[in-house]
Amino acid sequence: MFVDASAIIAIISGEDDATALGARLARAQSVFVSPMVIYEATLGLARRRACSLGDAEDLVGDFVHETQAVTIPIDDGIAQAAIRAFDLYGKGRHKADLNMGDCFAYACAKSLNLPVLFKGNDFAHTDIPVG
């Protein structure tokens, strides 16, 4: 399962759906993130929790370690797939309204043929399986 930043933020912050997201994550055979997800989750946590970037980075690092998530690299193929994702599902182009981070998460999940664990409705309007 590829984990989007929105799910990491929700789980760490204990949002209303954190338990359900955590249960779905626990059923995954393997967990993947990308450097962009780590970046996005760290900044989102710092904003949401009004904590330092260092503290947020530690929380996300702990999440990656505890879930034994594998960090996949962002290479040229992923970048091209993210561009295609924006063309198909990007903000102002499609109901999914994917932003840049979402497009990269989509591209990573698609490249690994994995579902995405996320919060919200954006990925549900794409062809990617929901984790």
Q: Per residue of the chain (131 residues), what is the pLDDT tens digit?
A: 999 999 999 999 999 999 999 999 999 999 999 999 999 999 999 998 889 999 999 999 999 999 999 999 999 999 999 999 999 998 777 677 899 999 999 999 999 999 999 998 888 888 888 87
Q: Is 66 domain-assigned?
A: yes
Tell me, yes or no, whether 52 lies in a domain.
yes
- Residue 58's domain comprises 2-119
**CA proximity to 66, closest of 25, 16, 18, 98:** 25
Does residue 94 lie in a domain region? yes
Residue 130 domain-assigned (yes or no): no
Per-residue confidence (pLDDT) for residue 125, from 0 to 100: 86
What does the DSSP assignment read for 40-97? HHHHHHHHHHT--HHHHHHHHHHHHHHTT-EE----HHHHHHHHHHHHHHBTTTSTT-
pLDDT confidence of residue 65: 97
- Give a yes or no: residue 49 inside a domain: yes
68 Cβ neighbours under 8 A, 6+ residues apart:
31
Strand order in the sheet with 116-117: 70-71, 32-33, 2-3, 116-117
Mark residue 130 as left, alpha or beta (left: phi above 0; alpha: psi -120 to 50; beta: remaining).
beta
- Please list the residues that pair with 130 across neighbouring strands: 116
pLDDT at position 82: 96
**Amino acid, res. 85:** A
- Residue 129 covered by a domain: no
Residue 94: the pLDDT is 66
Indicate the number of domains in the chain: 1
Asked if residues 18 and 119 have their Cβ atoms less than 8 Å apart, the reply is no
pTM of the model as a whole: 0.92
